[in-house]
Amino acid sequence: MTEPELEVDVLTSQPRVALVPRSHLSLELGHLYMEDLLDGPEALRRHFARISPWAGFVRARYPAPLRISTCFLVDDYFSQVASPKKLVPELLDAAHDAGLGIDYLVRESACASVGEVSPAELVLGRIVSDPPRGSNGLRPPVHMTGWVSNSKDRLRPDGLDEALATRPWRPPEQNGARSHSICMEVQLWDEQDGQRRWSCALLSAVWQLLRLGLLRHQGRAVVSPARWTGEYPDNWEDLPPLVQLADGAQPFAAFQTMSLLETRFADVETAVRTILDQVSVDPAVTEQTAAQATAQKVDLPGDVVGRISHVFSDGF
């Protein structure tokens, strides 16, 4: 008599980490504020005409069979002055006129909230503040202050003896500075009517992590592309957070990202790098991504900041 075979499911406290498909590069074809769209379709045509040569250069650097997906971020978080029914067709037409195609449209509000999940809160929970050498713990943690820094603050903290106020002024000092300091203080949120309003810098950091496929909630990807057919809705909240616009598009997430932006976004993107320098990605996701890159013979930078790049230009 043979013993019956038993199948045993082993339950662990760690959820399984979903593997997301990746392109080699996620190419952002722009990020415009809602007020930029008040100028109408002509403003969109000017925007895409400016970045089209750069997009062509990037595609030449990543020839087939390397995979590139394109995306466009619409600000529906800070304001909503144009409806998707009006804006999306104008956006696609303007891109097409410049010889560009948009594979994915993403609502910026999705960086703050997707259903019951807040990607911004997930990122905030993974920030490990950069402690300067000789730090004495006087600076409160980031989840209390809403600020991250890349430097040692030498200013006198409130509440110390007034006699200390007579000390000579000393400037802040960048952590790990090379010869000279470039100090950053980045605000992550403020409060409006008792509600937390995330900063553009934090939402943009979330945006980069989503494009890199590095953000998970209980092991699952935070956003997944949804195909849209038919007329676009009047309200942004009726549109999926991540809309796939093109049939046969390469995966939304990628091993690396590049963003083609106007120079006015440079300050925000510098702040994004300061934030991402202090984000601790889930080790299981890090290991999984590295294995995926190795299997596909992709040379993957070890740090997150090394995987993002930008082109800032107000003309070619």
Closest CA to 128 of 275, 249, 233, 257: 275
309 phi and psi, to 5 degrees?
-145, 160
For residue 64 the two structure tokens come to: 């087939």
- Tell me the pLDDT band of 162, cut-offs 50, 70 and 90: low
**pLDDT for res 144:** 85
Q: For strand 195-198 and strand 216-217, is the pairing parallel, antiparallel, or unpaired? A: unpaired
Distances (CA, A) of 61 to 57, 64, 264: 6, 10, 26
Which residue would you say has higher pLDDT here, 194 or 85? 85
Q: Is there a contact between 138 and 157 (Cβ–Cβ < 8 Å)?
A: yes
Is residue 132 scored above 60 in pLDDT? no
197 phi and psi, to 5 degrees?
-115, 115
Instruction: For residue 53, give every residue at least 6 positions away whose Cβ sits within 8 Å of its Cβ, in sequence order, or none.
Output: 316
Instruction: Please tell me the least confidently modeled range out of 126-135, 138-147, 222-231.
Output: 126-135
**pLDDT for res 16:** 84
- Tell me the pLDDT band of 271, cut-offs 50, 70 and 90: very high
- Tell me the pLDDT band of 309, cut-offs 50, 70 and 90: very high
**pLDDT for res 11:** 46
Residue 269 CA, chain-centre distance (Å), reads 10
- Tell me the pLDDT band of 166, cut-offs 50, 70 and 90: low
Is residue 51 scored above 80 in pLDDT? yes
Residue with tokens 């713990």: 137
72 phi and psi, to 5 degrees?
-140, 130
Is residue 73 scored above 60 in pLDDT? yes
Q: Is there a contact between 70 and 30 (Cβ–Cβ < 8 Å)?
A: no
Residue with tokens 């449209």: 105
Segment 141-149 long-range contacts (CB within 8 Å, at least 24 positions apart): 142/188, 146/187, 146/188, 146/189, 146/190, 147/185, 147/186, 147/187, 147/188, 148/185, 148/186, 148/188, 148/274, 148/275, 148/278, 149/183, 149/184, 149/185, 149/186, 149/274
Is residue 163 scored above 60 in pLDDT? no
Parse the chain into domains and list their residue ranges: 23-125+200-312
Q: Is there a contact between 57 and 13 (Cβ–Cβ < 8 Å)?
A: no
Is residue 165 scored above 60 in pLDDT? no
pTM recorded for the entire structure: 0.87
Neighbours of 33 (CB within 10 A): 16
**pLDDT for res 170:** 76
**pLDDT for res 127:** 93
What residues form DSSP beta bridges with 68?
25
CA–CA dist 171, 181 (Å, integer)? 10
Q: What percent of the chain has pLDDT over 70?
A: 87
* Mean pLDDT of the region 211-240: 94
- Tell me the pLDDT band of 8, cut-offs 50, 70 and 90: very low
When the pLDDT of each residue in the chain is averaged and rounded to a whole number, the result is 87
- Tell me the pLDDT band of 40, cut-offs 50, 70 and 90: confident
